[in-house]
Structure 1
Amino acid sequence: MPELSVEAIKGRPVAVLGGGVLGRRIACTWAAAGYTVHVRDPSEEQRNAAIHYVEQNIASYAKTISCSNPGKAIAFEDLEPAVKDAWTVIEAVPEKLQIKIETFADLAKMTREDCLLASNSSSYKSGEMLDKVDDVTKRRILNTHYMMPPDNRIVELMTDGFTDEAVFPFYVERLQECGMSPIVAHRESAGFVFNRIWAAIKRECLTVLSEGVSTPEELDRVWVEMFSGGKAGPCAMMDAVGLDTVVFIEQHYVKERGLPTKDTVDFLQHNYVDKGALGGKSGKGGLYPAGYTTKSTGEESGHHDNLHAPTLYYLDLGMNAKDDIMHAGKIVAQSASGKEPRTLVSNLTLPDGLDISVKDNRIYWTNMGVPSENDGSIQSCKLDGSDVKEIIKKGDVHTPKQLIVDQKNNKLYFCDREGLRVMRCNLDGSDQETLVQRGDWKVKEETQDSLRWCVGISVDNKHGYFYWTQKGASKAGKGRIFRAKLQLPSGETAANRSDIETVLTGLPEPIDLEIDEEAGKLFWTDRGDPPMGNTINSVDLSGLTHVEDASDNPKYNILARNMHEAIGLKLDKKNQHIYATDMGGFVYRFDIDGENKKRVVDAEDRSFSGITLAHV
């Protein structure tokens, strides 16, 4: 094996195979230390999410190690260009042994002879991955098992049984330069160092639960009190990692060491995994209810908390700006756990509706323009805020309000308030069509009639409907929610379609809408006066029919009250949370039933409208 030196790796990239939750954190760790990192993932959505994660977090990673000149991450779909000239390749591919064996066989052919090949497997030894590599290649293969940076900076290094001894001190020094805390196992060991101890703790915790000796809450409370300084306990950490992952890892130990399965693997499999309750990533909870491992500002969080917390994107209208209020709008990105907000786009003209497509690497938003003028527009940009494009130009939409991306069909739906219509187009703005026309905006009496104003929009692909709000005058109690079929009835127009149903009427002032198709519920914000307004509400979709007046309304639930002019709404279905904005400068988080209200953002000098989120 060629001699290892700092000079030999200078200017060469680090390659990370896999852009998932841990892969993107590994990539950010190396990029923050000044390296160019190549992230390879066959999924375009994962590639976009990984690069966006690095862009959002690299400054904070670099700050912790006082690096003033961080590097960057570049995404690749194909393996060979991603690993070309790399000085190290870190595989974080799915935990399937055969995939790892094939990966190392490919890397042996595609990388330079001095490139160090590392597996980040948490359960397999790299010595188990050598079936298709020659003896020379075996000397540059090792395990480098990262825990969960940036909060946990431990990295365990371990030989594959043949690794050149010179690799370890060299790799340890490079990791230390990245701010990591490497430890080296002195021989091959299934589970390395810490994971062997952690596996024993998990097994005994599961046995305690299986035997009914205690509950997850009690067990974790004792652990937190005794050992973890007020942070997460074993049950919460298992939920954060994923109970299916815990089962998978434990099965490997069972096979290698002949361990019993009744109170560990079988207990989790039958009671949780088979039911889809995988923990924080499933939307169905696990040992704890859904959303438990997503923490907000001020809450104690452990190393594995917030792995499944979304990044929030919200619109600052700019109405409290000191200068040029009409062009002071912003798109802001911020972790739901309360990390420092980052402005992505500035100088917007009263932005109102917002949504995101990670798959297409784009953010979409509406600009209301001057409400008395026909000068609204819809724009999009890349996830990092660059490449701003106008996809619906001024004059083609009057006063666009709320907007939603139909992720299934790659369509944008949006409401045009003073334009008195509901509209749809492709993600690039083409094939623009009017779905509902409530009047003629060129007729003054009609465009000033607030009962005709269309505001909020959502899509129910499962049942073939779109829903929208017509809010009426401010706090007038004349707001309505309508629905119509996604496909216009044959021979009809947007102005005379016969399938429009009023499903709720007499509401204070309904604004934004969201649909949870799986739960069969419609959610909305209401900006009107208390007690029915300034609320978040929900209603079952199954019982909705056309109503004539408020006395016919189906029973709906007021989930939360006492906001400050409630506007934007977005559901985090993975964590079973509701996020909402208001004109008072607050972003709130609620449980899906409206309980456990928390302020994620508190900025009384600002005014917020649309909100969306992405798990990146």
Structure 2
Amino acid sequence: MLQSWTPPRDYRNRPVVILGAGVLGRRIGCIWASAGFDVRLRDPSNQQREDGLAYIRENVASYAKETGDRIGTAHAFEKMEEALADAWLVIEAVPEKIQLKIDTFAQLEMQAPNDCILASNSSSYRSSEMLGKVSESAKKRILNMHYYMPPQCMVVELMTDGHTEEGIFPFMVERCKEGNTLPFIAGKESTGFIFNRLWAAVKRETLSILAEGVSVPEEIDTLWTEMFVKGRSTPCKMMDQVGLDTVAFIESHYVQERGISSENTVDYLNENYIKHGKLGNKSSQGGLYAPVKSQTTDGPEKPPIIVLDLGLSAVLPTMTSGSVLELSRDGEQMKTLVENQSLPDGVAVDPHTGKIFWTNMGIPGKTDGSVVSFDRQENITKELLPKGSINTPKQLALDTVANKIYFCDREGLAVYRCNFDGSQLEKIVQAGNSNNPKEAADARNWCVGITVAPKLGKFYWTQKGPSKSGQGRIFCANILLPADQSLDSRTDVECMVDGLPEPIDLEVDEESCMLYWTDRGEIPYGNSLNRLQLDKSGSELGIPSGNTHKVLTHHFNEAIGLKLDTKNNTIYVTDLGGKIYRCDLNGNNKSVLYSDEFRAFTGIALF
């Protein structure tokens, strides 16, 4: 019986060897050193060795910021045998000459330890083309391991040589993650890795467009940016959105016009998807992606979640790369409703019309924020309060009884409300003088979170204080301004809680008189979800100091958005780390519903 593959013995205390100290080789070495491994660069050129070590010394600390590990050592060698002594992993990054690579792997088999994993960084050649001088047993520990250009691109693709032990792949995936790289495994041996093949097709068609005079480089790049960078469209999800039957119809036209084979396009779709009723998003059978599952086995599918992506964690972030997203309640499917938004922050949905309302902060400190609505049925976006009306609008809440929008203006040091169409904008709280530089810079005056409780006759807001300062506060006031009082003289403003790390968003359950909020401050009380019991009038119960509120759960990554689903005993929370969480109303059973490190989530709402 064949024994299952086992990892190299004591690999954590053995070196990683990089053959070739050139531009890419030294970067690969820096990755492994940043993960705490001891690295050996082998290169016949003294200048390359010196330059390679200098690169690692100067850059490994910045790489290690992402890994959190101790920094490993780095040494350079001229002689192969000395470099290979006791190595557990060797990655060749020698010049792209096939005979040189064949000879290199023959030498590695003779001189490297018998349990050492042998990898090629080549993207031009399959590793199977390098096996001409190695034994059958050595072939089992050889693979392609292709890096792109770290630290700008931390992707690494792994691919078999046709004989590689299957157990090597999950083992190497975990080791790659330790170095903060994002590993992908090719399902089978291929000429060109996954991305290489994608890029080859894009490159080939781009050159054809230019050669035929259909477009120019500037137009092509602008279209690509709008559709795929800003729009976050991805190939497989886009085909599911279009419909696989439509994709096949379009491809059939190309097949006929260009005289190309239909085997890997139209025939593949027809055989594996279309004839089985798998047409994409419009089909209950799904398409390239599985269909959205219902939250229950016997009830109707629950309506989606609406969430805002700030846009600053995108691959190419800009001040207008924010978006309004729709997520299925099971967290399995996400789609973009509106894109190119300027730092969207707070969102709410009118349950009667289905309209979505949100704020765009704009550039903090400039009066270029806006309040926007989106009619999901008509696919119409409208600026209710255009740029120039307000400063930095933050969280947003709806009074669906009076058809009013409530929102905070952080740098404006104020709370506002207006009608659902944007008319009758009025300031209802002024926390400080925004024209006074000292008061404007005082984060204790910054209004951020907002919620409204029509049945209790009150609205609540947060003034967060400086970052993680313990000076955050929650206030409330009456929806109806007391008679004979004005904005400047109103006496009904009440500080509910003070001394909070950094309170952000708010929600109130009017039936149980419970006030909930997120806090992005320091642990143990920050980065948390919190709850305060109110009395029947919506004011604080007057519990003795120090026991005024309860931390329900914590360990978020810059907690921001909050939404209650009391009917289903659920709370949803978002954070700037790209996660959407849910837990029950007592903070128990916390789980991650959705995660994407390239997003920074802010507001959240439910239909």
- TM-score when scaled to structure 1? 0.50
- The answer to whether the Cα contact below 8 Å between 1:502 and 1:547 also exists between their aligned partners in 2 is no
- The answer to whether the Cα contact below 8 Å between 1:505 and 1:547 also exists between their aligned partners in 2 is no
Matched, 1:589 2:582: yes
Which residue is 1:601 aligned to? 594
1:301–1:352 CA distance, 2 compared to 1 (3 A) = closer
1:545–1:405 CA distance, 2 compared to 1 (3 A) = closer
Matched, 1:514 2:514: no
Q: Residue 303 of structure 1: CA displacement?
A: 3.5
1:304–1:531 CA distance, 2 compared to 1 (3 A) = same
SS at match of 1:451: helix
Distance 1:310 1:592 in 2: 20
1:451–1:308 CA distance, 2 compared to 1 (3 A) = same
Render the CA deviation track for 1:410-433: whole Å, top value 9, x for unaligned: 110000001011111100001111
Distance 1:412 1:69 in 2: 46
Q: Residue 361 of structure 1: CA displacement?
A: 3.5
1:529–1:401 CA distance, 2 compared to 1 (3 A) = same
Which residue is 2:82 aligned to? none
Q: Residue 598 of structure 1: CA displacement?
A: 1.5
Render the CA deviation track for 1:518-574: whole Å, top value 9, x for unaligned: 1211100000010000000111111875799x9735531211110000000001122
Matched, 1:363 2:342: no
Larger RCO (CA within 8 A; separation ≥ 6): 1
Distance 1:573 1:495 in 2: 36
- The answer to whether the Cα contact below 8 Å between 1:504 and 1:553 also exists between their aligned partners in 2 is no
Distance 1:441 1:483 in 2: 21
> Aligned to 1:524, which of 517, 521, 543?
517
- The answer to whether the Cα contact below 8 Å between 1:539 and 1:555 also exists between their aligned partners in 2 is yes
Which residue is 2:440 aligned to? 447
Distance 1:298 1:311 in 2: 11
Matched, 1:480 2:473: yes
1:474–1:385 CA distance, 2 compared to 1 (3 A) = farther
Render the CA deviation track for 1:247-288: whole Å, top value 9, x for unaligned: xxxxxxxxxxxxxxxxxxxxxxxxxxxxxxxxxxxxxxxxxx
Q: Residue 61 of structure 1: CA displacement?
A: 10
Distance 1:441 1:320 in 2: 30
1:41-56 correspondence runs (5 A) = none
Q: Residue 360 of structure 1: CA displacement?
A: 2.3
1:333–1:492 CA distance, 2 compared to 1 (3 A) = same
Paired residue type of 2:454: N
Structure 2 stretches lacking a partner, 5+ long? 1-236, 250-281, 286-290
> Aligned to 2:552, which of 546, 551, 559?
559
- The answer to whether the Cα contact below 8 Å between 1:344 and 1:384 also exists between their aligned partners in 2 is no
Which residue is 1:303 aligned to? 297
Which residue is 1:127 aligned to? none
Which residue is 2:449 aligned to? 456
1:431–1:516 CA distance, 2 compared to 1 (3 A) = same
Matched, 1:321 2:318: no
1:340–1:372 CA distance, 2 compared to 1 (3 A) = same
SS at match of 2:390: coil
Aligned length: 334
Distance 2:428 2:336 in 1: 34
- The answer to whether the Cα contact below 8 Å between 1:584 and 1:608 also exists between their aligned partners in 2 is yes
Distance 1:584 1:325 in 2: 17
> Aligned to 2:604, which of 587, 598, 611?
611
What percentage of aligned pairs have identical amino acids? 43
Which residue is 1:438 aligned to? 431
- The answer to whether the Cα contact below 8 Å between 1:504 and 1:547 also exists between their aligned partners in 2 is no
Distance 2:547 2:399 in 1: 27
Matched, 1:469 2:462: yes
Distance 1:420 1:600 in 2: 34
Matched, 1:390 2:383: yes
> Aligned to 1:495, which of 481, 488, 491?
488
Question: What is the CA RMSD across the aligned residues, in angstroms?
Answer: 3.1
Paired residue type of 1:381: F
Distance 2:547 2:408 in 1: 24
1:59–1:299 CA distance, 2 compared to 1 (3 A) = closer
Paired residue type of 1:389: K
Render the CA deviation track for 1:345-395: whole Å, top value 9, x for unaligned: 001101100011142231111011111211111111112582211111222
Distance 1:397 1:62 in 2: 38
SS at match of 1:447: helix
Asked which structure has the greater CA Rg, the reply is 2
Distance 2:326 2:478 in 1: 34
Which residue is 2:573 aligned to? 580
Paired residue type of 1:373: K
Which residue is 1:312 aligned to? 305
Distance 2:522 2:410 in 1: 21
Paired residue type of 1:473: P
Distance 2:541 2:568 in 1: 33
- The answer to whether the Cα contact below 8 Å between 2:327 and 2:334 also exists between their aligned partners in 1 is yes
Q: Residue 460 of structure 1: CA displacement?
A: 1.3
- The answer to whether the Cα contact below 8 Å between 2:528 and 2:554 also exists between their aligned partners in 1 is yes
- The answer to whether the Cα contact below 8 Å between 1:503 and 1:547 also exists between their aligned partners in 2 is no
1:360–1:459 CA distance, 2 compared to 1 (3 A) = same
Q: Residue 515 of structure 1: CA displacement?
A: 0.6
1:298–1:66 CA distance, 2 compared to 1 (3 A) = closer
Which residue is 1:350 aligned to? 343
- The answer to whether the Cα contact below 8 Å between 1:415 and 1:421 also exists between their aligned partners in 2 is yes
- The answer to whether the Cα contact below 8 Å between 2:533 and 2:541 also exists between their aligned partners in 1 is no
SS at match of 1:395: strand
- The answer to whether the Cα contact below 8 Å between 2:535 and 2:541 also exists between their aligned partners in 1 is no
SS at match of 1:505: strand
Distance 1:418 1:578 in 2: 29
Matched, 1:402 2:395: yes
- The answer to whether the Cα contact below 8 Å between 2:315 and 2:598 also exists between their aligned partners in 1 is no
Which residue is 2:324 aligned to? 331
1:569–1:525 CA distance, 2 compared to 1 (3 A) = same
- The answer to whether the Cα contact below 8 Å between 1:309 and 1:575 also exists between their aligned partners in 2 is no
Q: Residue 590 of structure 1: CA displacement?
A: 0.6
Which residue is 1:412 aligned to? 405
Structure 1 stretches lacking a partner, 5+ long? 1-56, 71-177, 182-296
